Each structure stands twice: as C-alpha cells, then as structure tokens.
Amino acid sequence: MKKRILTGDRPTGRLHLGHYVGSLKNRVRLQDEYECFFIIADLHTLTTRPERTGELEENIRQLVIDYLSVGIDPGKSTIYLQSQIPEVAELSFIFSNLVTVPRVERIPTLKDVMRDSNIQIPSLGLLTYPVLQSADILMVRAHLVPVGKDQASHIELTREIARDFNRLYGETLPVPEALIPDDIGTLPGTDGKAKMSKSVGNVINLSDDSETVRKKVIGMFTDPARVHGNEPGKVEGNPVFVYLDAFAGDGDMKKIEELKNRYTKGDIKDVEVKEYLFEGLERFLVPIRKRRAELENQPELIDKILREGTEKARTEAQETLKLVLDAMSLNYFSVKR
C-alpha cells in the first residue's frame, strides 16, 4: 500500500518557474511513488486577503490548469478544493484545543506572513492558520508532507497535534513526516532578489507567452559589476546561469560550461547568454503552453477533475472526522447505536 502525501498551493495567482523548480517538478515525480492529495487551499487566502474573494474562481481554475499542464495527472492524484470540505473546519476547531496561543505565535511561517503582508496584529484566522494547515494534513491522514530543508519545522505543529491526540484518545492519527527531496531548489527572481515572488513581480509565469518571456529574460539581472561584455563576469549566483542550470536539457551542459568559461573571461556579452537561456526556456514552455491552450477550451473538464477530486477528499475527511469523534466519545448517536 502506497504512503499518502498532502501538499498544495493557495490560489493567489498563476504559477511561475520558481514553483516548478521548487515543488511542481517534484510533485510530478512523487505521484508515481505515492498516493498524492493536492490541496487548493482557498480558505487560507482569507487569512491575508479576505477582501479579494472575487478573484478566487479564476485563480482556482488557472491553478488547476497549471497543475495539469506540467504533468500532474488526475488519474494518479487527487486535486481538491479546501473550502468544499466542511469537515476540515470541525477538525481544525478540535485540534485548536490541543495548542496554546504562545505555541502558535512561535511558528516561523506566521511571522513571515505577517512581515510579507505588512500585518502588525494578526486576525484570529491568521493566528490559527497553522492549526487549519494541520487539519488539512491530518484530514487525509497523510504520512508525508513534501517540504524544503529549511521548512521541515513547519510541520512540527502537525506532528505535535497528532501525538497529543493519540496520547489523549488512543492511536487514531498517523504522525506525518517531512519529505525532503535531495534535489529540490529555488530560483532567484529576474531582478536578482533571492526568490521569485508573485507579489514582487520578478517572475516568469508558466503561462507567459513567448514575447513576454523574451522581454523578461533580456531584462534579467546579471553581474552588476560587469558593465561591458569584454569584462570578466561572475557566474556563481548570477540568475541567468542559475536558470540555465535549472532548465538544462539533454546535450545542454557542454554548451553551458562553454558559456560559463567565456563569461568569466569576458569573452561573451550578456545578451548572447540570455538568448541561449530564452531558447532553452522556450523548449521547456512550448509543450506547457500547448497543453494550457487545450485546457482553456475545456472548462467542463477542469470542473469535473476538481469536483471528483473534492468528492474523494471529502470522503476521506468524513472518515477521519468519524474516527476522531469516536475516539473522543463525542459521536453520541454513533455510540448509542
């Protein structure tokens, strides 16, 4: 029996190359090894953007299209919509009684979200979002949660909740573990900042057309100390070369090494390296664009995939809630029968 995985995204906009390198590429591989549940966490968007719910319908549709276009297969995996599973809210409330406020306030991601969203005082929803996240994971009784090396601590609260619940009420919930891939990476933004970010706008979207990609690549940050093409340049940490390495295809490595050697000697202009990068990105993006175009014309297929996935996830949620309530002796009518 395959182990079960839970991961996903908030529907806040279209996905970009950073998402592909950091998670999507790995998810495509994982779906052949594990039973994967991919959550579209629309309830989580309320914690920072409660006034923008009008954007959710289109963002959800585009997120599903992004998933499918890169190779996530609904025949192998379950894609579901968080807000259509009411059981997760009940589970979240039950689990919130096993967690103290100071414990939640120490969670690094909460501080990061508050800083990035310029929030001084969190709403109750934002304060308790880590518990809702734990409910998402435990709802499908996931064994593993894919995270980067620097994010393993993010699921520790879920592990604590599962252990405390099992200690109080008997072995009911699996205690999930972090699944940290060896080859997971990150892409810097096109402006040279440490990370691609939709809010900053330094991204190349999976849905960008060829002209947009070319414009973004040509405008990319390189080595700020290199003014002219005949000056030696720095390859390490140079976003253009980071992208080249990340999207190198079969037979590209020899050419990329040649470009790196020429760049460090001052024997090539930035624009020539960027043109080669653009060509490589186009080879990667063309089949994604083709698949996206097909899916854009099949809204009924997107709805069908999302509806069937949500129904499957809700069945799991109902089973988990029953297990939890039975363990706690809160399922009065079930007990009476």
Our count of domains for the chain comes to 2
Residues 253 and 117 reside in one and the same domain: no
Residues 78 and 93 reside in one and the same domain: yes
**18 a known binding residue?**
yes
**199 a known binding residue?**
yes
Residues 224 and 258 reside in one and the same domain: yes
Contacts 24+ apart (CB under 8 A), 161-167: 161/95, 161/98, 161/99, 161/131, 161/134, 162/138, 164/98, 165/95, 165/98, 165/324, 165/327
**223 a known binding residue?**
no
Lowest mean pLDDT among 156-165, 208-217, 251-260: 251-260
What are the residues facing 8 on neighbouring strands? 39
Mean pLDDT to the nearest integer, 310-332: 95
Residues 276 and 305 reside in one and the same domain: no
- Beta-carbon neighbour count of residue 153 at 10 Å? 12
For residue 217, the model assigns a pLDDT of 96
Cα radius of gyration rounded to whole Å, the chain = 22
Say yes or no to pLDDT of 323 above 80. yes
Domain of residue 243, residue span: 210-294
Residues 288 and 309 reside in one and the same domain: no
**197 a known binding residue?**
yes
**11 a known binding residue?**
yes
Q: Please check whether residue 195 lies inside any domain of the structure.
A: no
Q: Please check whether residue 192 lies inside any domain of the structure.
A: no
Residues 169 and 245 reside in one and the same domain: no
Residue 200: which pLDDT band, with cuts at 50, 70 and 90?
A: confident
Residues 181 and 306 reside in one and the same domain: yes
**148 a known binding residue?**
yes
Q: How far apart (Å, rounded) are the C-alpha atoms in residues 255 and 250?
A: 11
Name the 3-class secondary structure at 145: strand
Pick from 62, 305, 80, 302: which is nearest to 206 by CA? Answer: 62
Residues 9 and 41 reside in one and the same domain: yes
74 vs 109 pLDDT, higher one: 74
For residue 335, the model assigns a pLDDT of 54
CATH of the domain at 27: 3.40.50.620
Residues 48 and 161 reside in one and the same domain: yes
Residues 6 or more apart whose CB falls under 8 angstroms from that of 52 comprise 45
**196 a known binding residue?**
yes
Q: Please check whether residue 202 lies inside any domain of the structure.
A: no
Mean pLDDT to the nearest integer, 295-299: 95
Contact between 146 and 30 (Cβ < 8 Å): yes
Q: Please check whether residue 196 lies inside any domain of the structure.
A: no
Q: Please check whether residue 174 lies inside any domain of the structure.
A: yes
Say yes or no to pLDDT of 250 above 90. no
**E-strand spans in the chain?**
4-9, 35-40, 78-81, 144-146, 177-179
* pTM (predicted TM-score): 0.92
**4 a known binding residue?**
no
Residues 172 and 279 reside in one and the same domain: no
**10 a known binding residue?**
yes
Q: Could you write out the three-class secondary structure of 164-196?
A: HHHHHHCCCCCCCEEECCCCCCCCCCCCCCCCC
Contact between 9 and 19 (Cβ < 8 Å): yes
**13 a known binding residue?**
no
Contact between 7 and 52 (Cβ < 8 Å): no
Q: Please check whether residue 114 lies inside any domain of the structure.
A: yes
Residues 225 and 271 reside in one and the same domain: yes
What pLDDT digit, counting tens, does each position of 63-92 carry? Answer: 999 999 999 999 999 999 999 999 999 999
Tokens for 239? 């976003």
What pLDDT digit, counting tens, does each position of 207-221 carry? Answer: 999 999 999 999 999
CATH of the domain at 224: 1.10.240.10
Instruction: From residue 9, give the alpha-carbon distance in Å to each of 71, 158, 183, 237.
Output: 16, 18, 20, 27
Between the two ends of the chain, the Cα-to-Cα distance in Å is 32
What pLDDT digit, counting tens, does each position of 35-69 carry? Answer: 999 999 999 999 988 999 999 999 999 999 999 99
**12 a known binding residue?**
yes
**187 a known binding residue?**
yes
Residues 6 or more apart whose CB falls under 8 angstroms from that of 30 comprise 5, 36, 146, 179
Q: Please check whether residue 125 lies inside any domain of the structure.
A: yes
Residues 10 and 117 reside in one and the same domain: yes
Burial class (CB in 10 A: 0-12, 13-18, 19+), 337: exposed
Q: Please check whether residue 81 lies inside any domain of the structure.
A: yes
